[in-house]
A and B are shown apart, each in its own frame.
Chain A
Amino acid sequence: MTSAISLPIRLEQLVGSDRVVASESAVKAFAIAGRAPMAVLKPRSAEEIAEIVSFAAVEKLALLACGSRSKLELGMPPRHYDLAVDMTALRGIAHYDPGDLTVSVDAGMPLNELAKKLAAQKQFLPLAVPCSATSTAGGAIASGIDSTLRQQYGTARDFLIGAEFVDGTGKQCKSGGRVVKNVTGYDLHKLLVGSLGTLGVISRLNFRTFPLPELCGAHLAVLPTLETALNFHASLLNSGLPFSNLELFDSGFSALLSSHLKTIGEDIPESVRATGWHVFASFEGSEAVLQRITRELQKLADRAQAERSETLDLQHSHFVNEGLREAFDWLRRAAPGLSILRIALPGVKSVDLKQILDLSEPSPLRASFLLRACNVAYLAVLAANDNAQSIAILERGISALFSRVETRNGSAALLDAPPWLKERINVWGRQRPDFPLMQRVKQAFDPQNIFSPGRFVGGI
């Protein structure tokens, strides 16, 4: 590796001085767990990305691509971090064919800007991810963060139809295409989803878009116990009613949600504030469809003996929906030292959930619980206070939780945790049997191991 002094100059020679930032204050904004890169590059084209990556590969410089930087802390802190590649200058729509319901965007395209362009054609991308004010398309795909529209529209892999990216050898590659149905070649773009930038620098993404729903509605029920809430939740899933989002949360979570809504100045529906187990359902369609769903929901809630059952008005349903979509973001800022676990389970039986969530031993921890679509749960855990003893308790509590999930054939990952906890616990949980295959994939994409080394599963 060349010395740090000459590096920025050499980078300037590579992509032009207006595309390189190396001042201390500027690179600090790209720091992860307190560590800043030596320089930040802001490419204007895929060709420039390729030049940067080729340079990094030759020089063995560790490189991390980023969008709005809202999720840089996901995963483990990178083992090495020399260059940040700021993708926000690449923010165009390359193709938009409203008549085909497909769009092709640069990776740095902010999702809210894209949403506006699509809305003008009465379309949208069902990628309802947190940090929506700033998130870029590339960041949302690379982070693999959950979308609250998953229940109806699936995850990004279900509507990402192609991608262009620069691999670890500095070559511009592509996978998939711009048509909605395609099985030509290996589906490499699926590997990019949730890969945290460890496989390539994504330059362009092709999506299938969807018609904007005519109307949206939402319903909130409060039930006395976890069992009754889960039964109600299951009755909704088996009802065949089309829900765009279906979430279940406890009083701890509803208290946090209420205070989040209060801080952003929104008036809070009464049922959110109520104690108990909440089941939130949102849905889309015509007036007649919404009426029908509302009717059936009321019936099912009555049958489940819900303590409260409320159809939210338009405004409230919007705010609760937004609040849930942003949950990851406000939860992580709700209290210093708070950790967010993402748990995926083969099934949600109340006995299992109770055991998994039992944080009373070795010493009580405070926790809030949110069950999202497809048996994915979020658990926000907080130690009683931040003295050494509490920290040790948190570590033990979370480790125990990991193993309880894993013995039930689930998997857990720490979505967010204070740096000191990441030093003690592998945020990705136990290594899975397919890990050696993941290493082969990584090696094929990034033979020099220059992309975000150490950030991903198993130290990839």
Chain B
Amino acid sequence: MDIALIRELKTLLGPENVLSQKEDLLLYEFDGSVEKGRPEVVVFPHGTEDVSRIVKLAAKHQVPVVGRGAGTGLSGGALARGGGVMIVFARMNRILELDLLNRRAVVQPGVVNLDITRAVEHAGLYFAPDPSSQKSCTIGGNVAENSGGPHTLAYGLTTNHVAALELVLPDGEIVRVGSHHGDAPGYDLCGLFVGSEGTLALVTEITVKLSLKAGSVMTLLAIFDVVGDASRTVVEMTAYGITPVACEMLDGWTLRAVEDFIHAGFPRDSAAVLLIEVEGLREASESQAAAIREICHANDAREVRTARDERERELLWKGRRNAFGALGRLAPSNYVLDGVIPRSKLPEALEQIHAIGKKFGFQIGNIFHAGDGNLHPIVLYDPRDTEQFKRAIAAAREIIRMCISLGGSLTGEHGVGMEKNELMLLVFSDADFDLMRRIHDAFNPDSSLNPGKIFPLSKGCGEIHVRKSGPAAASPS
């Protein structure tokens, strides 16, 4: 790295906002994924102007830039695949404006997801996207990944809750897209930038839409002795047009790990549980809950419990949210996959995952957003064992291929990043890549922003900046 650039960055931001020592950089070499990529310098801007100046300096020195929130991403999005400058938004964490009357909050990208809800819940409002990582992930990361959560089933992904964005383009220009009311004439640029994984622009301010908390909430735990019965329950619920706001599944192996760790009340001897939530008017949620119970029993549920109070409800959700962490205790490392299938294919998909696990010699756990067909198989492995790591990657790829062959998709919420950029070839044609590349180049013509992500390296966008010797390929950590 150019010493001059580091000096200029220190002058711009103050030395306390610049990290360039190798041991400091190590921490930023990873995110939540199995990938790896080290930046050459890490900077902490405090405002939009800082970001713009950093980007201009990097451009002057022809060094790539990557944005980073909390680094909880699971597809390697926040890794410096091309080295260069990493902009960490953690210190841009102020809530700038609350417009409760019109249900809007204007926030900086480093604000932690749950902190938005905490700031507005006194008014009966909340921010709907609820990734399980919501206590630590940032809104900037949510916007980049178009993150979801259990309640996406009813309320959509991040993109459904963003009205406007302030952006810094790769040449340092500051622009605003969308509007406070979220309804301006013209192309839906917010719709384009949300989910673009930091490859088109850096997000420096977000106007989010707030939602009104529902009147009555009921949380059910359906317990099954056979996995297939649980997945068939989900299929039937969907087919009968029953629309819970969340429908999560944990298989027996996973729920036992969770139970050991959290004591959420999942029966250790069951093969699978469904965590189902209904919301709305009491009259509606009660009849929905009754219909759900009926379908569960028709599919041989052993028992359907209803959380008696907020404490029980919170405990069940705590079990769900911390499941990845619980599994993490069972092996040195875990690989959380993210694939989508049409919901009617759930039983088949789970059987295939089991078979793939067997073939590659892994016990694969499943804890996922069953209601919208968003699978999260988890492969436990030991990263020091290179051969095992390779097998884990191979199993993962086979699972994703299976999702595609069932009519599904590569990723439901974790993004493509550098985890699945080569797998994009399974879904998109040359014509699709051409158009996506023209869109990419319209904003990020030199691939100086987050190079080596989303696009297969053979399809342009980033090959210039992904150094041959760099940490491009996934490798055991």
Query: Whole-angstrom distance from the CB of A410 to the nearest CB of chain B?
Result: 7
| B434 partner residues in chain A, CB cutoff 8 A | 169, 171
Check B243 for interface membership: any CB of A closer than 8 A: yes
Known: A240-B215, A457-B186. A375 touches B192 (CB 8 A): no
A191 lies within 8 A of B442 (CB): no
B194 closest partner in A (C-beta): A187
Check B287 for interface membership: any CB of A closer than 8 A: yes
B373 closest partner in A (C-beta): A179
B179 closest partner in A (C-beta): A411
Q: Give chain A interface residues in 400-458, CB to chain B under 8 Å.
A: 409-411, 413, 428-429, 432-438, 440-445, 447, 456-458
Known: A190-B192, A242-B280. A411 touches B372 (CB 8 A): no
Give Cα distance in the complex from A169 to B431, angstroms. 10
| A169 partner residues in chain B, CB cutoff 8 A | 434
Check A25 for interface membership: any CB of B closer than 8 A: no
Give Cα distance in the complex from A433 to B176, angstroms. 7
B239 lies within 8 A of A286 (CB): no
A181 lies within 8 A of B340 (CB): yes
A185 lies within 8 A of B454 (CB): yes
Check A353 for interface membership: any CB of B closer than 8 A: no
Check B96 for interface membership: any CB of A closer than 8 A: no
Known: A184-B410, A445-B435. A440 touches B443 (CB 8 A): yes
Known: A179-B342, A347-B101, A376-B183. A184 touches B411 (CB 8 A): yes
B343 closest partner in A (C-beta): A100
| A458 partner residues in chain B, CB cutoff 8 A | 186
Check A158 for interface membership: any CB of B closer than 8 A: yes
How many residue pairs at the A-B interface have CB separations less than 8 Å? 239
Give Cα distance in the complex from A99 to B240, angstroms. 8
A181 lies within 8 A of B188 (CB): no
Select B438's contact among A172, A345, A437, A444, beta carbons within 8 Å. A444
Q: Give chain B interface residues in 64-88, CB to chain A under 8 Å.
A: none
B343 lies within 8 A of A441 (CB): no
Give Cα distance in the complex from A396 to B437, angstroms. 44
Query: Whole-angstrom distance from the CB of A61 to the nearest CB of chain B?
Result: 21
| B104 partner residues in chain A, CB cutoff 8 A | 346
Give Cα distance in the complex from A411 to B185, angstroms. 7
Query: Whole-angstrom distance from the CB of B158 to the nearest CB of chain A?
Result: 9
Give Cα distance in the complex from A167 to B431, angstroms. 9
Give Cα distance in the complex from A175 to B102, angstroms. 32
A-B contact pairs, 24 of them (CB 8 A): A99-B239, A100-B343, A157-B191, A173-B435, A178-B342, A178-B407, A180-B343, A181-B372, A184-B416, A186-B196, A187-B146, A194-B185, A242-B280, A344-B181, A374-B183, A376-B183, A433-B176, A434-B176, A437-B177, A440-B443, A443-B438, A445-B439, A457-B186, A458-B186
Choose among B175, B435, B454 the residue with the greatest number of A CB atoms under 10 Å from its CB. B435
- Choose the segment among A288-296, A320-328, A359-367 that binds chain B (4+ C-beta atoms closer than 8 Å): A288-296
Check A101 for interface membership: any CB of B closer than 8 A: yes
A410 lies within 8 A of B181 (CB): yes
| B342 partner residues in chain A, CB cutoff 8 A | 97, 100, 102, 178-179
| B239 partner residues in chain A, CB cutoff 8 A | 98-99
Give Cα distance in the complex from A410 to B185, angstroms. 11
A194-209 CB mask vs B (1 if < 8 Å, else 0) is 1100010000000000
**Contacts from A to B (Cβ < 8 Å):** 97-102, 122-123, 154, 157-158, 167, 169, 171-175, 177-188, 190-191, 193-195, 199, 210-212, 238, 240-242, 285-286, 288-289, 291-293, 344-347, 374-376, 409-411, 413, 428-429, 432-438, 440-445, 447, 456-458
Choose among A154, A157, A347, A437 the residue with the greatest number of B CB atoms under 10 Å from its CB. A437
Query: Whole-angstrom distance from the CB of A314 to the nearest CB of chain B?
Result: 19
Choose among A376, A429, A432 the residue with the greatest number of B CB atoms under 10 Å from its CB. A432
B411 lies within 8 A of A183 (CB): yes
Give Cα distance in the complex from A374 to B160, angstroms. 14
Query: Whole-angstrom distance from the CB of B241 to the nearest CB of chain A?
Result: 3
4 extra A-B contacts, CB within 8 A, seeds A171-B435, A242-B284: A97-B342, A181-B372, A183-B157, A187-B194
B186 lies within 8 A of A190 (CB): no
B104 closest partner in A (C-beta): A346
Give Cα distance in the complex from A178 to B431, angstroms. 19
Q: Give chain B interface residues in 415-466, CB to chain A under 8 Å.
A: 415-416, 424, 427-429, 431-432, 434-436, 438-443, 454
